[in-house]
């Protein structure tokens, strides 16, 4: 089993996504399988209920037309009337099938989540217990209680091998947790009290040690419960663009309805009164049935594509907003860089040797269990042959932990005090003990900062004498491929801003190497909020990622706030998306998925409106050519008979919905480019293609229909 790690710098985001997809079986889930049409057919039939059809005005009109056609086909049966009524019902059914297939994927994912929900027994601690250090206690007084009886605020004890009974935050202890049931990632992860990795999810399993968890969710409102509801589509609400497009389609439907109604008096006056079935067929072919049938499926599929990438969107509005993002706020650590800064060089100052600096740096870092502290010890062991383990004297010495106030850490061994930390903090400490910082130190510090590194100054006091030994260079490595990804975002018209707590010199160097457009250095939570509001006041949409409680206000303020699953409950509640893989670079993929959904909707709308043109040339000459022979000139497809022309148009109108279901589910391929370039491509492919395709399709269908007795010439 892979050792638990907080970061995995050896794996790129794309590789990690592919490995995760292989483990969860979601690579195949993203590919359309024709069998899905058959498995979703029962759901499509259930959706023929008029109460369901009423939610989609365009398809409700088709449903009413199908009912009328059926009634007239029963009253005056003929091959033409029966076939037309049947294909109108197929049109409604295929529209339902598109939605059912999209929902079916979500239901399959929801079912796998339901299987992980079990009746868990919780061990609740009695009220009034001081939890500090309680996880290490040999015995605790607990009471057994069903997990569904837990309330927010309850404290529960979870030991190795037990299932965490509900969502919560670890308030004491540290443990490795198997989250594969949620994320699909087989490697366990570390969760510990304090910091930004304290949140745990109900249904996951503790593999080692024991922890005390404060429950934060009510029964039935856990993270898994919400995931099930969301991936099933039960809580999917129409996005603003989807609502606006629905209104537009409804208006077009009303206009064409009035046009068709007005045709009958004109036809009667001309001596060629049309049957209701022909008028219904004309109406169904003229209204935008294609996009009306696929609109819901496009929205569901957009959220499904996020779920396939292990991102849970709390609403379709968030997915759509991601496609309109103008500004992207990205944390430096863990997003743009790997996050674990490592000691790469020791730079002594005049008066000290590199060996003396190495000895002092090792001593100051022995008790420092941060990745940076451990890397300093590793460097001293590897490059200078020093001992990796503390001696008995060193182990008994008094360690000085790092604090935000002192900005230093170190060790006190008798009258020898060693410190490492920020240059200004060490300077003040040395001055306090009667020493002085050599000018060379500031030169080295400034150079390391300008090059994008982090300088730690090492000093010591021995026998009352204070002196500086030198500077440790910590390097933060930019993830490979970030510059190219930011270039893609720039091509989309998105401005990237790196947010970091580093000093401006370090931030500038990292920003230049990564290729971001701007940076915010020495950022505090209120600075993030101010930046987001400033951008939003300019009419721009802002997206950001975060995982800590201090990120919650900014996540809530951002138009798209992506919280890490490893983060605190407050962060996950504030964001409108949760990344189950806790990969901050996923935000770039989320933006691409949002844009893909918008482009898919626009492309299919263009295609739907464009392919109506061929139907005019098919049905209108068929209706009136008998009394207006001049209309034969616009029968450019040379369709066999009026009956075959109308039937071919109706059949094509139904079949094109089935043909476009895979595209609606998969999405139109998105390549980063300007809005004008995307518009030109859509008009060329889906505008011109939407005109040509039905001419060819209707003609081919007419050749087959004309072979049927009663339809040929």
Cβ-proximal residues to 613 (8 Å cutoff; 6+ apart), any chain: 691, 694
d(C-alpha 355, C-alpha 105), whole Å: 62
Q: How confident is the model at residue 103 (pLDDT cuts 50, 70, 90)?
A: confident
pLDDT of residue 359: 92
pLDDT of residue 276: 87
When pLDDT is averaged across residues 464-485 and rounded to a whole number, the result is: 85
- 488 and 552 share one domain: yes
Let me know: does 169 contact 152? Beta carbons within 8 Å: no
d(C-alpha 289, C-alpha 92), whole Å: 9
d(C-alpha 419, C-alpha 490), whole Å: 44
pLDDT surpassing 60 at residue 366:
yes
pLDDT surpassing 60 at residue 5:
no
- If one compares 427 and 313, the residue with the highest pLDDT of the two is 427
Domain with residue 534: its CATH number is: 3.40.50.1000
Q: Nearest Cα to 255, choosing from 290, 295, 222, 283?
A: 283
**Other CB atoms within 10 A of residue 534 CB:** 12
What are the DSSP E strand ranges found in 234-276?
none
**Could you give the 3-state DSSP secondary structure of residue 289?**
helix
Catalytic residue among 331, 476, 581, 583: 331
Q: How confident is the model at residue 196 (pLDDT cuts 50, 70, 90)?
A: low
> DSSP class of residue 216?
-
d(C-alpha 389, C-alpha 403), whole Å: 24
Of 417, 451, 477, the residue that ends a domain is 477
- 530 and 504 share one domain: yes
pLDDT surpassing 50 at residue 4:
no
**Could you give the 3-state DSSP secondary structure of residue 157?**
strand
d(C-alpha 43, C-alpha 225), whole Å: 23
Q: How confident is the model at residue 125 (pLDDT cuts 50, 70, 90)?
A: confident
Of 175, 196, 219, the residue that ends a domain is 219
Give the tens place of pLDDT for each residue, 381-418: 999 999 888 888 888 888 888 776 778 889 998 888 99
> DSSP class of residue 342?
E
pLDDT surpassing 50 at residue 505:
yes
d(C-alpha 518, C-alpha 544), whole Å: 14
**Could you give the 3-state DSSP secondary structure of residue 312?**
strand
Please indicate whether residue 172 is annotated as part of the active site.
no
pLDDT of residue 22: 37
When pLDDT is averaged across residues 492-500 and rounded to a whole number, the result is: 86
pLDDT of residue 420: 92
Domain with residue 415: its CATH number is: 3.40.1110.10
- 205 and 132 share one domain: yes
Does residue 227 sit within a domain? no
pLDDT of residue 101: 84
- 494 and 434 share one domain: no
pTM above 0.85, yes or no: no
pLDDT surpassing 70 at residue 657:
yes
pLDDT surpassing 70 at residue 203:
yes
- 460 and 532 share one domain: no
pLDDT of residue 340: 65
Tell me what the pLDDT averaged over the chain comes to: 81
**Other CB atoms within 10 A of residue 391 CB:** 11
- 440 and 515 share one domain: no
Count how many domains the chain has: 3
Q: What is the 3-state secondary structure (H, E, C) of 20-42?
A: HHHHHCHHHHCCCCCHHHHHCHH
Of 564, 586, 608, the residue that ends a domain is 586
- 538 and 558 share one domain: yes
pLDDT of residue 19: 37
When pLDDT is averaged across residues 703-711 and rounded to a whole number, the result is: 84
Does residue 282 sit within a domain? no
Let me know: does 704 contact 633? Beta carbons within 8 Å: no
The sheet carrying 542-546 orders its strands as 311-313, 577-579, 560-564, 542-546, 327-331, 495-499, 518-520
When pLDDT is averaged across residues 644-650 and rounded to a whole number, the result is: 88
Does residue 406 sit within a domain? yes
Let me know: does 711 contact 644? Beta carbons within 8 Å: yes
- 330 and 350 share one domain: no
Does residue 600 sit within a domain? no
Does residue 269 sit within a domain? no
- 350 and 443 share one domain: yes
pLDDT surpassing 80 at residue 123:
yes
Alpha helices in 545-585 (DSSP H): 552-557, 569-574
**Could you give the 3-state DSSP secondary structure of residue 404?**
coil
Q: How confident is the model at residue 232 (pLDDT cuts 50, 70, 90)?
A: low
Let me know: does 624 contact 345? Beta carbons within 8 Å: no
Residue 141: CA count within 13 A, CB half-sphere: 5
Q: Which of 111-120, 130-139, 192-201 has the highest mean pLDDT?
A: 192-201
Q: What percentage of the chain carries pLDDT values higher than 70?
A: 86
Residue numbering of the annotated binding site for ATP: 368, 372, 402-409, 420
d(C-alpha 556, C-alpha 548), whole Å: 12
- 530 and 451 share one domain: no
- If one compares 647 and 219, the residue with the highest pLDDT of the two is 647
As a dihedral over the C-alpha atoms of residue 570, residue 571, residue 576, residue 582, rounded to 10 degrees, the angle is: -140
Q: What are phi and psi of 88, to 5 degrees?
A: -70, -40
Q: What are phi and psi of 221, to 5 degrees?
A: -120, 25
Does residue 115 sit within a domain? no
d(C-alpha 105, C-alpha 300), whole Å: 9
Domain with residue 169: its CATH number is: 2.70.150.10
When pLDDT is averaged across residues 583-602 and rounded to a whole number, the result is: 84
Beta bridge partners, 163, equal 205
pLDDT of residue 489: 81
Place of tokens 């009328």: 68
- 174 and 185 share one domain: yes
- At 203, list the tokens: 């249904």
Q: Give Cα 94 to chain centroid, integer Å.
A: 29
Place of tokens 């400034």: 446
Give the tens place of pLDDT for each residue, 571-585: 788 888 888 777 777
Does residue 627 sit within a domain? no
- 534 and 462 share one domain: no
d(C-alpha 633, C-alpha 625), whole Å: 10
Domain residues for the domain of 424 are 342-477
**Other CB atoms within 10 A of residue 529 CB:** 15
pLDDT surpassing 70 at residue 21:
no
Let me know: does 498 contact 519? Beta carbons within 8 Å: yes
pLDDT surpassing 70 at residue 321:
yes
Residue numbering of the annotated binding site: 368, 372, 402-409, 420, 547, 551
As a dihedral over the C-alpha atoms of residue 52, residue 57, residue 62, residue 63, rounded to 10 degrees, the angle is: 30
Let me know: does 540 contact 496? Beta carbons within 8 Å: no
Does residue 445 sit within a domain? yes
Counting every residue written for the chain, the total comes to 713
- If one compares 179 and 253, the residue with the highest pLDDT of the two is 253
Residue numbering of the annotated binding site for Mg(2+): 547, 551
Q: How confident is the model at residue 348 (pLDDT cuts 50, 70, 90)?
A: very high
């Amino acid at each position: 089993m892979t050792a638990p790690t907080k970061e995995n710098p050896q794996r790129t985001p794309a590789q990690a996504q592919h490995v995760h997809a292989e483990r969860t079986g979601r690579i195949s889930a993203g590919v359309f399988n024709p069998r899905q049409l058959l498995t979703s057919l029962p759901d499509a039939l259930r959706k023929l209920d008029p109460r369901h059809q009423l939610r989609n005005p365009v398809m409700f009109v088709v449903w009413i037309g199908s009912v009328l056609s059926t009634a007239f086909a029963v009253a005056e049966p003929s091959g033409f009337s029966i076939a037309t009524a049947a294909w109108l019902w197929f049109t409604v059914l295929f529209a339902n099938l598109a939605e059912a297939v999209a929902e079916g994927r979500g239901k399959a994912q929801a079912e796998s989540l339901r299987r992980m929900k079990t009746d868990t027994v919780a061990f609740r601690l009695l009220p009034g217990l001081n939890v500090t250090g309680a996880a290490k206690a040999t015995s605790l007084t607990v009471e057994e209680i069903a997990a569904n009886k837990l309330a927010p605020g309850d404290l529960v004890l979870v030991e190795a091998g037990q299932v965490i009974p509900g969502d919560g935050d670890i308030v004491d202890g540290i443990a490795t947790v198997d989250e594969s049931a949620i994320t699909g990632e087989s490697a366990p992860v570390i969760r510990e009290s304090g910091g930004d990795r304290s949140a745990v999810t109900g249904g996951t399993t503790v593999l080692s040690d024991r922890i005390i968890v404060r429950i934060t969710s009510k029964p039935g409102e856990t993270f898994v419960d919400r995931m099930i509801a969301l991936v099933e589509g039960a809580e999917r609400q129409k996005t603003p663009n989807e609502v606006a497009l629905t209104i537009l389609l409804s208006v077009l439907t009303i206009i064409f309805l009035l046009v068709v109604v007005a045709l009958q008096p004109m036809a009667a006056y001309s001596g060629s009164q049309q049957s209701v079935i022909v008028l219904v067929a004309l109406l169904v072919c003229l209204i935008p049935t294609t996009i009306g049938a696929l609109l819901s499926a496009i929205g569901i599929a957009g959220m499904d594509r996020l779920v396939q990438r292990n991102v849970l969107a709390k609403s379709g509005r968030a997915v759509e907003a991601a496609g309109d993002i103008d500004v992207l706020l990205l944390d430096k650590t863990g997003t743009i860089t790997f996050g674990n800064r490592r000691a790469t060089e020791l730079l002594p100052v005049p008066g000290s040797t590199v060996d003396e600096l190495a000895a002092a740096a090792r001593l100051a870092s022995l008790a420092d269990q941060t990745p940076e502290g451990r890397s300093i010890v590793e460097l001293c062991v590897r490059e200078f042959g020093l001992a990796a383990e503390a001696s008995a004297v060193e182990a008994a010495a008094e360690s000085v932990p790092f604090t935000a106030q002192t900005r230093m850490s170190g060790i006190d061994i008798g009258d020898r005090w060693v410190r490492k930390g920020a240059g200004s903090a060490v300077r003040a400490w040395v001055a306090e003990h009667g020493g002085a910082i050599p000018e060379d130190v500031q030169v080295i510090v400034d150079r390391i900062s300008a090059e994008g590194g982090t300088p730690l100054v090492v000093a010591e006091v021995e026998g009352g004498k204070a002196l500086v030994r030198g500077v440790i260079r910590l390097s933060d490595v930019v993830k490979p491929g970030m510059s190219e990804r930011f270039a893609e975002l720039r091509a989309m018209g998105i401005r990237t801003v790196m947010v970091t707590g580093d000093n401006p010199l370090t931030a500038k160097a990292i920003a230049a190497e990564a290729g971001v457009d701007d940076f915010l250095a020495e950022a505090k939570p209120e600075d993030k909020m101010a930046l987001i509001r400033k951008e939003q006041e300019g009419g721009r949409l802002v997206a950001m990622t975060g995982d800590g409680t201090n990120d919650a206000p900014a996540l809530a303020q951002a138009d798209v706030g992506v919280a890490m699953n490893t983060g605190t409950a407050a962060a996950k509640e504030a964001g409108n998306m949760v990344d189950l893989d806790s990969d901050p670079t996923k935000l770039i993929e989320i933006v691409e998925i949002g844009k893909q959904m918008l482009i898919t909707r626009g492309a299919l709308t263009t295609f739907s409106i464009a392919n109506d043109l061929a139907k005019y040339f098919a049905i209108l000459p068929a209706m009136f050519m008998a009394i207006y022979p001049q209309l034969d000139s616009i029968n450019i497809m040379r369709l066999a008979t009026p009956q075959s022309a109308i039937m071919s148009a109706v059949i094509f109108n139904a079949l094109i919905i089935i043909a476009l279901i895979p595209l609606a589910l998969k999405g139109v391929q998105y390549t980063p480019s300007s809005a004008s370039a995307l518009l030109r491509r859509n008009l060329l492919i889906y505008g011109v293609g939407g005109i040509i395709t039905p001419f060819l399709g209707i003609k081919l269908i007419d050749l087959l229909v004309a072979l049927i007795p009663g339809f040929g010439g």
